[in-house]
Amino acid sequence: MGADLGPIGRLRLVPERLRAGIYLDPWHRIEDTVLVVASGRSGSTWIAEVINHQNEYRLVFEPFRRDRVRRARGFRRGEYLDPREQEHPLAGTIDALLAGRVRGWWTDAHNRRRLVRRRIVKEVRLTNLLPWLRARHPGLRIVYGVRDPVAVARSWLELGWGDDLDDLLSQPALLTQFPGLEQTLAHVARHGDALERHVLRWCLENAIPLRAHAELDLHLVVYERLRAEPEREAARLFAYLGGEAPADEAAVRRPSATAAFRRVRAVSLTRAQRERARELVALFGLSGLAPVDE
């Protein structure tokens, strides 16, 4: 009979892909959650990994993705709820997911923490929910990432991802937040090229939180600044979170787990496409609030 390896030794024999789901998260308090939110391909995984550089948090990966998480089936990308509507039918599900009441191969794929006291919920579908969340949870720490919309759109195109624009355009409550843009929305939806559609999706996902990030007490992380000055931006981030920034520069500069998605094709953009993207961003009043095609 072989020697008893003990619980830690036995855990090491479990394949890594299965080991990620082996943890204890018994408290489920939303005040112990840090929410990291951005549009897809805007650095949210990178930001989450920087925060978790010492593996102090359970990392909950995109629990609001409806085709991966059964509990999230009622959500659309960019779901918008009026902050005054706190008795919405989705409220209980939102709270449960933020509190970490979810397990699965998708949400736990990047988790390396075994005994959980705090968690990071990393999500790319909640940008428009941030005013509602702030009204409901005034003390929730929210880190909001923003990246140049042209770079985001180009990345989505290169990866061959759909734009999910219909999810946003099917929400009357969301569209009422953009008076005067009805004709623009209809024109791009019907006649816009792929880049226009992706940029419009970015605008519909980011106009609300970006214009109100200060009053909502969101810690804004601009992807381009994080790349250019990682140590400075990490110091700002950890000052907001009340912790210590990584002493090791590599912890900030290390590529994220999702940085190396395989491109389907290379995409070149014309000057006219770039100009049209700037026009759309300006129509939503976002010029100067985020880098655009710098």
d(C-alpha 239, C-alpha 251), whole Å: 17
| Domain residue ranges in the chain | 14-283
Contact present, 94 and 69 (Cβ < 8 Å): no
Q: CATH: 3.30.200, 1.20.1070, 3.30.70, 3.40.50. Which one for 14-283?
A: 3.40.50
Residue 180 tokens, joined: 């005067």
CB atoms near residue 52 (< 10 Å): 23
Pick from 139, 244, 131: nearest CA to 177: 131
What residues have CB less than 8 Å from 147, skipping those under 6 apart?
38, 39, 41, 42, 43, 222, 223, 224, 290, 291
pLDDT by residue (tens digit) across 165-189? 999 999 999 999 999 999 999 999 9
Residue 7 has pLDDT above 60, yes or no: no
CA distance 157 to 169: 20
pLDDT (tens digit per residue) in 40-93? 999 999 999 999 999 999 999 999 999 999 999 999 999 999 999 999 999 999
Task: Kindly state the percentage of the chain with pLDDT values over 70.
Answer: 93
Dihedral of alpha carbons 91, 97, 99, 102, sign: positive
Nearest to 145 by CA among 281, 34, 55, 279: 34
What residues contact residue 244 under an 8 Å CB cut-off, 6+ apart? 238
Q: Are 30 and 141 in contact (CB under 8 A)?
A: no
Sheet holding 219-222, edge to edge: 58-61, 119-123, 33-38, 141-146, 219-222
**pTM for the full model?**
0.92
What is the per-residue pLDDT for 17?
A: 53
Q: Which helix H or strand E contains 145, and what residues bound it?
A: strand 141-146
User: Are residues 284 and 203 in contact, defined by beta-carbon separation less than 8 angstroms?
Assistant: yes
Instruction: Give the residue from 196, 174, 85 showing the smallest Cα distance to 135.
Output: 85
Q: Is pLDDT above 80 for 6? A: no
Q: Which amino acid is present at 30?
A: I
Q: What is the pLDDT of residues 100-153, one digit of tens each?
A: 999 999 999 999 999 999 999 999 999 999 999 999 999 999 999 999 999 999
Residue 26, H or E segment: none
Q: What span, in angstroms and rounded, lies between the C-alpha atoms of 49 and 28?
A: 21
**Cα(first)–Cα(last) distance of the chain, in Å?**
65
